Structure 1
């Protein structure tokens, strides 16, 4: 729809557009309008909304255009206010002040007196709701954005929208939905010509984490490695990805690849990590070697690390390592040493620390091994509570199998069956909560 030439611009236009239309209506060139006031290039910048003249210059321009200054400035204050609100909202989002940004973005979405793209406002507002854990509000906004992107055939916007819908699925504990949207986002990006590499990497990492969560380790490895090829990222992020790949290759029993990525992670973390990150890296790298024949070396390295943590006054970190040592020794049938390390871990860890799960697990199995069924069952129940509290499904399953095997060997078939059935029901419930129905 074209505006009639005899109609003045309204406050829905920018100041630059208004100045240009008034100049053309008067029949002036940019040079004629600028003469004796400012340079013609400044007039060009003002009309393109890249510059804002002073009040004195505005008064001179209004006089030359033979319009009241008020008419020239109509709506300018509103335009400046809206621009200021938008910049403030974006600054809040970048500073992760999502709660404060929501009312500003919501107000701008409801207003019609600006030229800010609705898609930009909707996406920023949806992101805020996602970060605040408001899955329902985020999904509503993203569905609106999906319709808009589809209608405009905007693949870039469509991919971003689908990626965020995948995050809604994660937030709603609906992993099949999260995977569905994330895979569609990747499909869209692969057909896009001008691909944003950062968006590709974000999508690949989301797919990697989701496949890891549903137990598809080989697929997760593929996505992590694709992400590394596209953009290795900065030191710390790259080191984290290398370490995840090392751990996943270890799960797949591909020890050569695990060692390769572990070595790369170690080099990076030595340069970039802070003290706590360096501790976690050292601990996890040592544990990656626990399946080797030379497991005694891993024990020595872990003991040295635990002693260092105690000297530094970090009792909790020391407790985690003693728990690792207990499990490592038990896996290699060194039962007495395992129980000694477990007792040390128990003395360091407090409350319901996740590391206490494996600590109680070793103490329970050790007690049963010594034919102390009473202590065995006491620690067994404590371990199960920790595993269930922290949704440590894999550890709970492994522990239950070990315990049920022991109970069966002792002829306690009914108790073994009941414990296995309870664990099975718990796992089905956990999977259902994540959107996985067997």
Structure 2
């Protein structure tokens, strides 16, 4: 039985209408599309539906996974990880691992599963899954992924106070450096800093200095100020233990300046982004797109994930204005993969995704995207954005020939605008 059939059968048994089931969540038409398997519910909507039908969420998870593309299921799990819902992410990732698909790299899924298990303090299970990831990655010559898993394994053992096992895993990762076809400065720098820090903790200052100095050389030509700051801090601590106080103080001052510059870098990116987006008039220019892509690269190199998600939304909207819906769709999907679950940034990315899908005449998917955006905007009480989404939703329904639903959307838009005006002190009379 399909996911939609299960939901419809349970709803009928409970004596609920589609309006009852979707009340406060999605429109009755969306419930109808879900029950006919023409649309997939978001994880949050499915969770609420399960509660209203008085069934455990797990009853529906396998069906959800079988209907979603595996990479989409993985994205849902990553969104859950971002929101701290590690137990729910484990359920979904386990299903994906148990039913491997050719369109998804199972090593990535196993690494994420290991991270979740680690966060849930299921350390032995996490260790098993991550070790499997390392073996599989090495067999497939995916050394970057093996390095990532070994980095996490070291952190897991350090958390368990098994310092020499942490050193073992990080050394094993260090030995993979020559196998990398393309340098991975951030990943390698992180591992070298981990090795330096733990050798400092073990009182092995000479070894610590060696690793920190190698990290300093590796990161010299990058913009990752936070990682460089950690390297300088490690150098300062190591040199202080060797009683080289002047040089230690010098590196400590560098570390402080770099950590402060990370905050300033966020401000610089925000200013540049706002200048680009606010300065648009008429047809967007290639220069504007290049500027946003530069901001995006800075965010990536400094691990500013939230800021990167917002900029993906700006880029996606720029592509819509340039009438390039496929590129817009790609940018919005990349943004959604990293946006914090339930955030306003995720809502904006869903709205732009709806615009792109509407331009490609994918009406059902566009409706789903706009309704998910409305749901998120409602959780943040962003009435102007809610009204805009209802307007866009009406256009999609009208284009599809559903005039009645389009009218309903415009009515809802009007109600939201009236509520917004009332909040600002405007009073309406009959």
TM band (smaller chain): 0.3 to 0.5
Is the radius of gyration larger for structure 1 or structure 2? 1
Q: TM-score, normalised by structure 2?
A: 0.43
Q: TM-score, normalised by structure 1?
A: 0.42
